[in-house]
Every structure is written in C-alpha cells, then in structure tokens.
C-alpha cells in the first residue's frame, strides 16, 4: 500500500495546478477526495494567500488529510492566519491588524470572510497541522529543519507538534524563545545586512535577508543571503550596489547549516525557487535537500518530489503540474 510520499510545494491558492499535479502523479478523485492506490501526498504548507482559488486550495488538501491520502505541515501563511484571529491574555490579536499585516492576508480573508463559521473551520484545521514531519528517511518542514528550534517549539506544542493557543501567543511575542524558533522553522533564518538593504518582490524595503541555510559553503552575506535577481541592493549610504558585502554570516546562522555528517534528506518549500527557461532550473538543491516551491502562484509550475525510500535525492523525482 505505502510505496512512498509525494511532497508537494506551496499551493498559495493555485487549486487548478494542484489538481493537475495530482492527476499527473496518478491520484484520482474517489469519494470526493484525491487518492493514490499506494502513495501518500505530503504538503509543505502555504496553502493560502496570493492566488486565485483560496478556498479550494484549502479544501482539497484538507479532504485528503482527513481521508488519510495526505499529510501536511503548517506554513508561515497559515500561522499568520491563525495569529490574526486569536488573542493574547490582554485580548489583543496575536498578530496585529496593521495595514501591512492585513494586506498580506487580504486575498484569503476576502475569500474566507473573517470571523465566519467557514473561516473558523479552516483555522481549526490549520491548528491541527504539525510544524514538521520526520517520516523516517525523509523529513518535511515548511522553511528550515533546525532541531534546537524544534525542541523549543515542541515544549509548547501539541503531541503531534501542532500549535496550541499558548504557543501561538508565545510565538508572536517578539524576543521570546518561541518567537525566534518559529521564525526559523516556519519562515527560515534571516540575517541582518549590516546597514545594507534591498527592495523585495512586494516593494518592501528589508534590512534582513533569508539565509540559504541548506548550503554549508555559503558563509558570507554575499553568498548566503537569498535575493532574487531583479531586486535592488542598497549600501549603507542608500546607493544601489551590485551585491551584498563578503562579510561573514553571524555564527548563530552558520550553526543552523547542516553538517556533512548528519543529513537525513529534507524537503521544504517557502523559498520561491524558479525553473528558468525550458525548466532548466527545475532541480533539487543537492542529494540531501530539495526545495519544492517553484513559485506556482507567480507563473511557475506546482512541483512535487516523489520519494520512494532513496537516501540520495535526485532531480529525476521532481514532477510538475505542467506535465
């Protein structure tokens, strides 16, 4: 029955691409859900926000998980959705209803209607999702596999490592251990840029950058901070420059980088990889790490890694919604 896992990247409202990908992988609609005769899907989270079919992008994975044909971990967008709708001991929303926060969640909130029964049902399901899955030979997390952070989160989490009300409060309290741990596991480690800044894909000026934590050779800001090619980098005098400086990444970041000796293969999403012309860049990172987010909601394919027990991952096992 169980021949392996099909680990599916960030859906972000792309329900049509999800159904196409499932169909391409031999899943079929049975009893109002998608099933494969001998495989199980695993979603890396980030079902919602941005894309056109918010409710279907939740309903399809939810039905699959409830039917046992899929597993799923929570992404930062689901964490944010829960945090926007729950309150701390003072009665304040765990995630403030600032213009920017609401804008980031607007597409989902428009579709789900904040405070409605349907909205609460979706959030209740998100709350059941673990923050990571160790499936024996393959690991799945939304952004970063980092065991010290997982231990911190695990102390406040439910038995299956899903969120509890207390953990949602703590993980939104800036400066708390759970806040830092959730940042790393769900959003990926970010390093300060020493006065440098850049304008990101949404036009926000950022003074910290996402670290390529999976790459043991990336030891400097220049090589270890993930920036898209079309983003502009500014030096401390706010002048545009070619790239970030070659100064070393902070020690705490380098300690997150996996060592060569303990590397169970890990699949994750979150990082907006792109496939390039003719799918030339449709590939895993290395034999121990695969990002399955290829920017489906920005015109890329939705991608899955089809894992069948191998200890060395291969790009040959990537399957796309585009066929």
Output the DSSP codes for 114-154. TTSHHHHHHHHHHHHSBSEEE-SS-EEESS---HHHHHHHH
User: Measured from the CB atom, is 27 or 47 closer to Mn ion?
Assistant: 47
User: Measured from the CB atom, is 41 or 185 closer to Mn ion?
Assistant: 185
Contact code string over 157-186 relative to Mn ion, x by CB under 5 A: ------------------------------
CB of 30: closest distance to Mn ion in angstroms?
Answer: 30
Distance CA 256, CA 104 (A): 28
DSSP annotation of 247: P
Taking the CA atoms of residue 145, residue 122, residue 292 and residue 227 in that order, the dihedral angle to the nearest 10 degrees is -80
CB of 79: closest distance to Mn ion in angstroms?
Answer: 9
User: Measured from the CB atom, is 185 or 233 closer to Mn ion?
Assistant: 185
Sign (positive or negative) of CA dihedral 190, 52, 296, 263 = positive
CB of 90: closest distance to Mn ion in angstroms?
Answer: 28
User: Measured from the CB atom, is 35 or 191 closer to Mn ion?
Assistant: 191
Distance CA 198, CA 224 (A): 15
When asked if residue 270 is in the footprint of Mn ion (CB under 5 A), the reply is yes
Interaction residues for Mn ion, span 41-70 (CB under 5 A) = 46
Name the percent of the chain in helix, strand, coil, to the closest 5.
Answer: 30, 20, 50
Neighbours of 195 (CB within 10 A): 12
Output the DSSP codes for 63-108. HHHHHTSEEE---HHHHHHHHHH-B-TTS-BSS---HHHHHHTHHH
CB of 7: closest distance to Mn ion in angstroms?
Answer: 15
Contact code string over 76-115 relative to Mn ion, x by CB under 5 A: x---------------------------------------
CB of 204: closest distance to Mn ion in angstroms?
Answer: 15
Distance CA 188, CA 205 (A): 18
Residue nearest to Mn ion (CB): 270
When asked if residue 149 is in the footprint of Mn ion (CB under 5 A), the reply is no
User: Measured from the CB atom, is 65 or 73 closer to Mn ion?
Assistant: 73
What are the angstrom distances between the C-alpha of 44 and each of 191, 224, 246?
23, 23, 32
User: Measured from the CB atom, is 33 or 76 closer to Mn ion?
Assistant: 76
CB of 103: closest distance to Mn ion in angstroms?
Answer: 16
Beta bridge partners of 318: 305
- Answer whether 321's CB lies under 8 Å from 18's CB: yes
Number of residues that bind Mn ion (CB under 5 A): 4
- Answer whether 163's CB lies under 8 Å from 124's CB: no
CB of 305: closest distance to Mn ion in angstroms?
Answer: 17
User: Measured from the CB atom, is 6 or 46 closer to Mn ion?
Assistant: 46
- Answer whether 201's CB lies under 8 Å from 228's CB: yes
User: Measured from the CB atom, is 39 or 171 closer to Mn ion?
Assistant: 171
Q: Enumerate residues 6+ apart whose C-beta is below 8 A from 141.
A: 44, 73, 131, 132, 133, 185, 266, 268
When asked if residue 210 is in the footprint of Mn ion (CB under 5 A), the reply is no
User: Measured from the CB atom, is 53 or 270 closer to Mn ion?
Assistant: 270
Q: Applying CB under 5 A, which residues contact Mn ion?
A: 46, 75-76, 270
């Amino acid at each position: 029955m169980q021949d392996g896992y099909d680990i599916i990247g960030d859906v972000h409202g792309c329900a049509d691409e999800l159904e196409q990908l499932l169909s391409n992988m031999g899943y079929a609609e049975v009893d109002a859900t998608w099933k494969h005769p001998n495989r199980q899907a695993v979603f890396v989270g980030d079902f919602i926000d941005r894309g056109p079919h918010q409710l279907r992008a939740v309903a399809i994975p939810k039905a699959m998980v409830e039917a046992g044909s899929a597993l799923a971990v929570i992404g930062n967008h689901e964490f944010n959705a829960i945090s926007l709708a729950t309150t701390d001991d003072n009665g304040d929303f765990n995630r403030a209803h600032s213009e920017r926060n609401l804008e980031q969640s607007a597409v989902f909130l428009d579709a789900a209607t904040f405070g409605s029964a349907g909205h609460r049902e979706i959030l209740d399901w998100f709350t059941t999702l673990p923050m990571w899955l160790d499936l024996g030979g393959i690991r799945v997390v939304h952004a970063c596999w980092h065991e010290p952070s997982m231990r911190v989160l695990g102390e406040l989490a439910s038995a299956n490592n899903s969120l509890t009300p207390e953990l949602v409060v703590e993980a939104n309290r800036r400066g708390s251990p759970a806040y830092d741990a959730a940042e790393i596991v769900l959003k990926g480690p970010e390093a300060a840029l020493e006065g440098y800044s850049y304008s990101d894909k949404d036009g926000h000026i950022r003074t910290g950058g996402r670290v390529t934590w999976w790459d043991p050779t990336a030891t400097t800001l220049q090589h270890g901070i993930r920036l898209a090619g079309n983003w502009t980098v500014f030096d401390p005098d706010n002048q545009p420059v070619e790239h970030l400086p070659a100064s070393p990444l902070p020690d705490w970041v380098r300690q997150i980088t996996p060592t060569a000796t303990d590397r169970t293969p890990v699949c994750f999403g979150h990082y907006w990889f792109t496939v390039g012309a003719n799918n030339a860049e449709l590939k895993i990172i290395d034999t121990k790490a695969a990002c399955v987010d290829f920017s489906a909601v920005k015109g890329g394919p939705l991608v899955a890694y089809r894992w069948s027990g191998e200890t060395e991952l291969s790009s040959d096992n990537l399957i796309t919604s585009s066929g």
